[in-house]
Amino acid sequence: MFWKKPPTTNHPATLLVGLGNPGREYSGNRHNVGFMAIDRIATDYRFKAPKKTFGGELAEGMIGDAKIFLLKPLTYMNLSGECLGKAARFYKIPLDKIIVIHDELDLPLGKLRVKKGGGNGGHNGLKSIDAHMGKDYWRMRFGIEHPGDKERVTGHVLSDFSRTEHKIIEPILSEISHHIALLLQGDEAGFMNRLCLTSNESRNTNHESRD
């Protein structure tokens, strides 16, 4: 949909990483929204079929004039850093060229935040990445909303989005893909401005019909 014939480039590659758990039983989980975002980008920009390597699925492609590696660790969430670390070291990708997309309990459903560095907020995937890579990589936090009780967190993140929730997140996943070039170019403000509009519209439209 957004693909153009890739030009030659000498720009450094970027590693886009989506966090999730492998297996069909987890594919629709809130915890797997990072995988969902990577899959959408791979489809929209017609990336090569992924190959299994470094303990994950890795696909190569171009977005504009930027060389991109898309990575989905298949090590389960709490070992994500092992896979990411191997890929980053092999391709010599610095931390400021790594963007990790992950679910975030402390944001409303469909709300996004982009930040370089910071804490892990108790997220096991980020804990693992911090331990293997340090903290100075980019994080795209995708809100899945807190269930309101810490005893319900595990069940919440490992349960599927409802049909109504899908109506909220699908336009946002599409817009992440559509505007990801802005983020790759270093225009975090431009990227967030476009995504905030979509996020607010999507959540407002579906607010009264939430399951």
- Domain ranges in the chain are 14-159
Name the least confident of 117-121, 143-147, 182-186, 207-211. 207-211
Mark whether 166 is an active-site residue: no
State the catalytic residue, choosing from 11, 31, 123, 146. 31
The tens digit of pLDDT for each residue in 24-58 reads 999 999 999 999 999 999 999 999 999 999 999 99
Query: Encoding tokens for residue 176?
Result: 């992440």
Whether residue 168 has pLDDT greater than 80: yes
Right CATH for 14-159 from 3.40.30.10, 3.50.50.60, 3.40.50.1470, 3.90.1150.10: 3.40.50.1470
The tens digit of pLDDT for each residue in 177-208 reads 999 999 999 999 999 999 987 777 776 666 54
